Amino acid sequence: MWQGREWPSSRAFVFSSDAEDDDAGEAEEADEVFLDAVDEDLDTGFQEDGLLADEEEEDIIPPLRTRAVVSSTDGLDIVADEEDEDDRPRSTMKASAGIVLDDDVDEDDEDELLADVDTEAGVPILDEGLDLDAIIDSGTPAMPSNMGGQEEFLGIDEDEVELEGEEDIEELPGPSYPEPPIREYALGDLLEMAGYGLVDRAASNTKVSGLHTDPHKILPGDLYISLEQDTEENVSEAIENGAVAILGPQSLGKNSSVPMVKVPNPRDAMHRMAAAFYNDPSQKMSVVGVTGSSGKTTTSWLIRGIFEEWGKLTGMMGSIENALYADKLDAEGNLWVPDEADPTLDRDCSAAFHLTPYKGKYEAPNEAPDGLEAQKLLAGMADRGAEVAVVECNPDGLEQGRMDHVDLNIAVFTNLATDAAEEGEFEELLEAQGAIFRRLTNPTTQRAIINLDDPYADDIRAFAAQVPVVTYAMYNKSADVWPEKLRFSMWETEIKVQTPVGPLLIITPLIGRHNVYNILAAVAVGLAVTVDGEPIPLKTIVQGIEATEIVPGRCEVIDEDQPFGCVVDAADTPAALSRLMDGLRECCNKRLILVLGCPGEQDQGKRPFMGEIAHYKADLVIMTNDSPRGEGPNEIIADMVAGYPDSILKRNASVPYQPGFLQDPGRVDYNALEFLWHNCYEYRRYVVEDRWTAIRWAIGSAQADDCVVIAGRGHKDFVEWTFDGETVRGWFDDRVEARNALAKVAKLWQISGFDHAELPWMDVGDREGRMFNKALV
């Protein structure tokens, strides 16, 4: 049972609580002890589980960087990377987790706490006589397989590692789940549980052992739910596969072989039947729902991190994975196991102009699961003993009532993004997101968490009028949770968070201003609830957030000890790309190098806007592809570069070869390459249709303190091409490709007289002397 944490009496509101006095007292005492302990240690360093930052760690020190304040806005100190003589290793910053600041910390102590790091990265010495072809050839035996790539991304095989003095270490076991129940109901009973009574006496005893809306997945004993616009062929196929009954719309035809139940609204009936069949699994857990136009995924992962740090068995239903603890769940709510061998496990990367087989992979879940799939997933968690479920609530799903029969204890509103306004959908989205807040009616066990900076915050607050509201904001200091100080770098973010129960210091590898919002939302959730009368300790909130070092494909920092940043992100809309680039601009001292592609056969209208954002917010742009499917790669890129300003497009149209210099060099006649490279270099705008090559060109061109941004795909690990009407998937993961390229880039830096700071790469001095003569234009 969730209750609210009691704020100090000075706050504008006080949550009611049914917690036992002893439990509440112990929690309050623990928080006070933690605050006092931190206060005592301010002079010596950060505190995490008793470890101070000045204690020596047995660790390999990564490349060192520095930071300094570059601006201050709205009372927030903003810090970004800068060359400095202050050398403190990044590893000590990671040892500074778990800070809760005392209100009495003075400015000098605070500045010492937020002291900055770093130095220049060291580069290994390269043997003489290195073959450049061997460097850039991903398949060469000269490149050790453990340098970057998937093996390092997934972690070193524990059987191959022997830690000194730790020969007998045993792997900590994961949770042992109870066996899920086998469900079977009489059709009449199931309909009654769902609020229907629409079946004759003879059919009421028909045994139902499963529910499906896909006739291909029907097993003997299942009830087939036929939705609007279904076909008679699907119904027939479901019966042939063993469906014992059909539930569908009034227009459903007759079939005497199985009982048929006709309802006015089959989609609502599906939601009801699913909740009834799976015994309302959301009522057996504490459920946090996160809704909004952006930030849902990262916020959900941070909330998950808090509860897991607290020791609660936590399930996740989201756009990256459906999971319980570290175990992924399939769409039926079962523990996922590969259905075939994965041929890429022994590979470091894919290959240029080649489709690598995509087999044995976990497929990313449906971002807006229907009500039936949602109940299956929640049941898969509850049946195995989950105490908490964190659910991404996609606005599209909310509009269709997909969460109507999911009971939320906490509803989190992140924002209503501006790209929806361009499509004229604000009112529809607002109503859809407001629906879950209207269903919050119990002031003892339910809470609303609202971003006070969003212009629609008051509307959401009105929807949640029956329950206490906890607010967070970046700029509005009347919020309950807000950042007093911020420090950004390419490697981490430091936030001093003000809350009603005291200030917290959070140091996280999640970077960018947009991630600050996500962190504040997670802090608000952690402060707002108790479970079984037990509040979440403040230290646990901080450590749970800091333990969430990566959200796959969401502004994910790829760190191979290189002296420049590299980020992979899923930004695939103009608004998302704009937020990403703005956030990284605050973290990056020098160039933003952007690799961007758009998928084929979808969202064609947004491509010029993606190109426009790329041009105005990146210093060097390499346009490439995502999943072309049945479209020509060059045609997709032509749509994207159409967003460039007229000055570039007019020059592009005037060059003596068509369709201009904004195309892949491989499509240009050899005699015209000089013209193409000159114009591309002048504007720092390039086109490379092969994404494998584009990533390596970008990373190879990056210099110290630059940042390479690989956008549009995020956690997706496949590309799609269509051949003769058949769509084929191939393995391609931006994160794996980036790690593979980064593992080799240090060798490029050691080639004497080799200029790879710009494209094309060439010998030092050759750029101005040969290719980039103004007479060529």
Read off φ and ψ for residue 384, nearest 5 degrees: -100, 10
**pLDDT surpasses 90 at 366:** no
Q: At what angle do helices 734-749 and 691-701 cross, to 10 degrees?
A: 40
Number of compact structural domains in the chain: 4
Read off φ and ψ for residue 329, nearest 5 degrees: -115, 145
Instruction: Quote the domain boundaries for residue 78.
Output: 2-113
Judgement on whether residues 614 and 695 belong to the same structural domain of the protein: yes
Task: Give the pLDDT band of residue 232 (cuts 50, 70, 90).
Answer: confident
Is residue 127 in some structural domain? Answer: no
Query: Residue 253 belongs to a domain with what CATH number?
Result: 3.40.1390.10
Is residue 158 in some structural domain? Answer: no
Is residue 174 in some structural domain? Answer: no
Q: What is the mean pLDDT of the chain?
A: 80
Is residue 40 in some structural domain? Answer: yes
Instruction: Supply the pLDDT for residue 162.
Output: 39
What's the burial of 294, exposed, middle or buried (CB within 10 Å: 0-12/13-18/19+)? buried
Query: Which residue is associated with the tokens 């962190």?
Result: 519
Judgement on whether residues 522 and 406 belong to the same structural domain of the protein: yes
Is residue 352 in some structural domain? Answer: no
Q: How far apart are CA 67 and CA 490, in angstroms?
A: 9
Query: Residue 663 belongs to a domain with what CATH number?
Result: 3.90.190.20
Judgement on whether residues 435 and 313 belong to the same structural domain of the protein: yes
Judgement on whether residues 250 and 285 belong to the same structural domain of the protein: no
Task: Give the pLDDT band of residue 641 (cuts 50, 70, 90).
Answer: very high
Judgement on whether residues 591 and 529 belong to the same structural domain of the protein: no
The residue among 246, 277, 308 that closes a domain is: 277
List Cα–Cα distances, 744 to 126, 367, 440, 712, in angstroms.
Answer: 11, 36, 53, 24
Contact 467, 441 (CB under 8 A): yes
Q: How far apart are CA 735 and CA 305, in angstroms?
A: 22
Task: Give the pLDDT band of residue 51 (cuts 50, 70, 90).
Answer: very low
User: 222-225 and 2-3 as β-strands: parallel, antiparallel, unpaired?
Assistant: unpaired
Q: Which two tokens stand for residue 474?
A: 């970046």
How does pLDDT run across 659-678, given as a tens digit for each residue?
889 999 999 988 888 889 98
Instruction: Supply the pLDDT for residue 769.
Output: 64
The residue among 63, 82, 113 that closes a domain is: 113
Is residue 142 in some structural domain? Answer: no
**pLDDT surpasses 70 at 271:** yes
Write the DSSP symbol of residue 333: S
Judgement on whether residues 199 and 85 belong to the same structural domain of the protein: no
Is residue 131 in some structural domain? Answer: no
Q: Which of 233-237, 405-409, 620-624 has the lowest mean pLDDT?
A: 233-237
The residue among 65, 95, 113 that closes a domain is: 113
Judgement on whether residues 328 and 476 belong to the same structural domain of the protein: yes
Instruction: Supply the pLDDT for residue 710.
Output: 98
Judgement on whether residues 219 and 325 belong to the same structural domain of the protein: no
Judgement on whether residues 436 and 413 belong to the same structural domain of the protein: yes
Judgement on whether residues 501 and 612 belong to the same structural domain of the protein: no
What's the burial of 700, exposed, middle or buried (CB within 10 Å: 0-12/13-18/19+)? buried
Query: Residue 414 belongs to a domain with what CATH number?
Result: 3.40.1190.10
Task: Give the pLDDT band of residue 461 (cuts 50, 70, 90).
Answer: very high
Q: How far apart are CA 690 and CA 354, in angstroms?
A: 10
Task: Give the pLDDT band of residue 55 (cuts 50, 70, 90).
Answer: very low
Count of CA atoms in the C-beta half-sphere (13 A) of 65:
25
How does pLDDT run across 65-109, given as a tens digit for each residue?
433 333 334 445 444 444 443 443 333 333 333 445 544 445 554
Instruction: Name the H helices within 323-449.
Output: 371-382, 395-399, 418-422, 426-438
Is residue 569 in some structural domain? Answer: yes
Question: Looking at this protein, which amino acid is placed at residue 141?
Answer: P
Q: How far apart are CA 762 and CA 773, in angstroms?
A: 15
Judgement on whether residues 538 and 605 belong to the same structural domain of the protein: no
Task: Give the pLDDT band of residue 430 (cuts 50, 70, 90).
Answer: confident
How does pLDDT run across 648-663, given as a tens digit for each residue?
999 999 887 888 899 9
Query: Which residue is associated with the tokens 């360093």?
Result: 45
Judgement on whether residues 237 and 366 belong to the same structural domain of the protein: no
